[in-house]
A and B are shown apart, each in its own frame.
Chain A
Amino acid sequence: MSVAAPPVRRRPPGRGKPSASRPVRPNAAKRRRGRATLRVVRPARPRRLPFLAISLFVVGLLIAAVAGVQAVIAQSSFRMDDLSRQAQQLQQRNGELRLEIAELGSPKHLERAARRMGLREPDPSGVRVLTVRNGDPNGPKDSGNSPGPAMAAGGVP
């Protein structure tokens, strides 16, 4: 492996301060005195006010939009919460009504209500059994389909 030697910095010719030993040429001094003085002119500054205003406006707009959207989302969220609570209440009410229907339709309740209204159960001996053939109530009696024992004994009118 070889190690490179550090480069030696040399002053480029004609740059930097003139050394004291270097002689000043009289012609050059005369030329300098005859020319106009040069000065560094700063480049014209671009106008930043509109850019800043636009930026602020855009950022403000974005913030307002985000805030608006957030507000809408929050509002919707609360509304959803309300609606789901309302749905839950309605479901509860629906369940209660179904329960009420089931309770009102239960045989025990119906019987009690019927008794309150003065209704009574039919007496088995008072039931008239019609014997028909092929579902035709006016058709002839089925001879084989004779009434049961109690009917045969005259238990049924």
Chain B
Amino acid sequence: MKAGTPPAQRLVALLVVLTLGLGGVLFRLVVLQVKDASALASMAFRQRVKDIQLPATRGTIYDRGGRALAMSLPAKAVFADPVIVQDRNREARVVASILHLKRRVVETRLRPVRMKDGTPVRFVYLARGVDLQTAARLEKRQLPGIGFVDESRRYYPGKDLASQVLGFVGTDGTGLDGLEAQYQDVLAGRPGHHVVEEDPRGAFIPQATNEDVPPVPGNDLLLTLDQDIQYQAESALASAVKSNHAKGGTVIVMNPQTGDILAMATYPWFDPANFARSKPSTWENGAVADVYEPGSVNKVITAAAALETGTVRPGQTFEIPDHLRLYDHVFHDAHPHAPERMTLGDIIAYSSNVGAITVAGKLGRDRFSSSLHRFGFAHDTGLDFPGESAGLLAPVDRWSGTDMGSIPIGQGIGVTPLQMASVYATIANGGVWVQPRLVRGTVGEDGRTTAGPASPTRRVVSESTARMVTRMLAYAVESGTGVEAQLPGYWVAGKTGTARKPLPHARGYGTKYMASFIGFLPASRPSLVIAAILDEPATVFGGVAAAPLFREIAHAAVARLRIPPASKPPLPPHVVRAG
């Protein structure tokens, strides 16, 4: 303004400027306080308020004695916001040294990256499941752009013990396989959250918003497995696989009265805490998922069906040659022999293929097929385990002529080891099938135990049939093919199985075998059923390769469970080489 401007005009100009200025301020004030008030207030609230997610502690899995097989502890996930990271090299060095990571990997993750739409990536995981002490050490360094999220980490105290049964969880704590996946809803719990207001330094503001929704921990799971028997079974299986130069193997130990599975393992196994480092094929629980041709252990169904239907009497004898032609196929006994008279007990004890086929021929395909179904073949066991197979059994109207030669001796059908163990459990339980189970109950947040429902049962054969078959199986161990399964002080009932493996990608059989021994003890008062199966052992016979494995597991299990010996069961009618 010119110096010569009259004061009145200057005052007016000043007034106008002031009015405009104040008007602007007023306008901005109105905009902030009225128009954008709620948006700004909520923005401020968001900056102040911190919603901390509180992960629910996953339930513990216990064995039948209450010993933890899988448990979770609080942990932290460490993440980075590359936009905020200031000194990438230094921060990468510190993070890598504390978390035991490779510095280059950390440095790469700290590099600013943009998404396809150009937005910078502002969240990168650096490590998951970091224990709280380690996380606290890193937190103390106050590295810009490095943050922490609460989560939990799953631990398996027994390392690889019962790994295929327990399964494993993913990095986010969700069950991915085994019981962890099957009982995800029971174990997971419900996450909570904690809403607090914080000052710019991160200290919480007392008496401000403080909402606390505590997480609901998952229920614990009580298994039927016995940690000690599981370990003994696994140890015995591992050494049997090694000593027999086998490809693998499976063992099952169960209580025939309750259906409780005390041990279940398939070799090779894996460490569930580091499952990603193992082959996916080792994750599978072979006891319920692998389908194999059972071989001679299946003769027990042939015998039980023949007795149950009255087709064959226990004392009835048959003239048994060492081979038999059925249509275009000739079936042989394991060893050549002159035709000899045999009872059903002899056929079972000495595992005569020709004898079993002869008995099945008298039984007829319909009654035989019906028996296979009644014993649980072609149906899953009801265990509901992830990946459980129902086995392979063609409908009887699609059986070929030679099927009545192969199926009675356990070839041409596919069963799981658990299905086969259940057959023997049915005989051991007086002819009553009991659904196998792995879970006894759950323990809630309040510590209250809820027992699982009792296993469903159904009668398959009469008690007298079961008792007679038991005598035959005891005879097989006393003087038949199963002598290697004898356990000092106990009478064992069981059967050997030596099954040829079908070619994987062609019709017919190769030169590889599955050797098995399935039995129970004490024979006259069964408390344990044990299935021992070896895949492709160097010594192919079940009586040589698998029966000692059975014995070793039985020895450990009777000691662990303090099972007293019981009286000797009477021998079945027999005419061959008794004693």
User: Residues of A with Cβ closer than 8 Å to B?
Assistant: 70, 73-74, 77-78, 81, 88, 91-92, 95-96, 98-99, 102-103, 105-108, 111, 124-125, 127, 129, 131, 142, 144-151, 155-156
Contacts and interface: CB of A to CB of B under 8 A. Distances in A.
B67 interface: yes
Interface in B551-568: 551-552, 555, 559, 565-568
Given A129-B489, A149-B478, 9 more contacts: A77-B206, A95-B73, A99-B157, A107-B161, A124-B551, A145-B568, A148-B490, A148-B565, A155-B488
B149 interface: no
B5 interface: no
Nearest to A132: B564
A124 B488 contact: yes
B433 interface: no
Contacts of A99: 68, 71, 73, 155, 157
Contacts of B565: 129, 131, 145, 147-148
B567 A156 contact: no
Contacts of A147: 488-489, 565
Which 10 A-B pairs have CB atoms at the shortest separation, nearest pair first? A129-B489, A77-B206, A102-B157, A107-B231, A144-B567, A150-B488, A102-B68, A74-B206, A103-B157, A95-B73
B488 A108 contact: no
Nearest to B212: A84
Nearest to B555: A124
B204 interface: yes
B227 interface: yes
Tell me if B's interface is mostly helix, strand, loop or mixed. mixed
B487 interface: yes
B110 to A, nearest CB: 28
Contacts of A98: 68, 71
A149 B480 CA distance: 12
- Interface residues of A, dominant DSSP: helix
A150 B228 contact: no
Interface string B489-533: 111100000000000000000000000000000000000000000
B170 interface: no
Contacts of A77: 206-207
A150 B204 contact: no
Interface residues of B, number: 38
Contact of B491 (A125, A127, A149, A155): A149
B159 interface: yes
A151 B158 contact: no
B377 to A, nearest CB: 32
B199 to A, nearest CB: 13
Nearest to A145: B567
Interface string B194-233: 0000000000101100000000000000000001101110
A150 B567 CA distance: 14
Interface of B: 67-68, 71, 73-74, 132, 155, 157-159, 161, 204, 206-207, 227-228, 230-232, 235, 477-478, 483, 486-492, 551-552, 555, 559, 565-568
B204 A102 contact: no
A83 to B, nearest CB: 14
A142 B567 contact: yes
A156 B565 CA distance: 14
Contacts of B559: 127
Given A74-B206, A106-B157, A108-B159, A96 B491 contact: no
B488 A129 contact: yes
Contacts of B132: 92
23 contacts: A73-B206, A73-B207, A81-B206, A95-B74, A99-B71, A99-B155, A103-B157, A105-B67, A106-B159, A106-B227, A107-B230, A127-B559, A145-B568, A146-B568, A148-B487, A148-B488, A148-B490, A149-B491, A150-B486, A150-B487, A150-B488, A150-B489, A155-B488
A81 B212 CA distance: 12
Contacts of A95: 71, 73-74
B157 A70 contact: no
Nearest to A144: B567
Given A102-B67, A150-B487, A155-B488, A144 B568 contact: yes
Given A92-B73, A99-B71, A107-B161, A125 B206 contact: no
A145 B566 contact: yes
A155 B567 CA distance: 18
A84 B231 CA distance: 40
Contacts of B551: 124
A92 B228 contact: no
Nearest to A135: B564
Given A96-B73, A98-B68, A144-B567, A108 B487 contact: no
A149 B486 contact: yes
B489 A92 contact: no
Given A99-B157, A103-B157, A107-B158, A156 B488 contact: yes
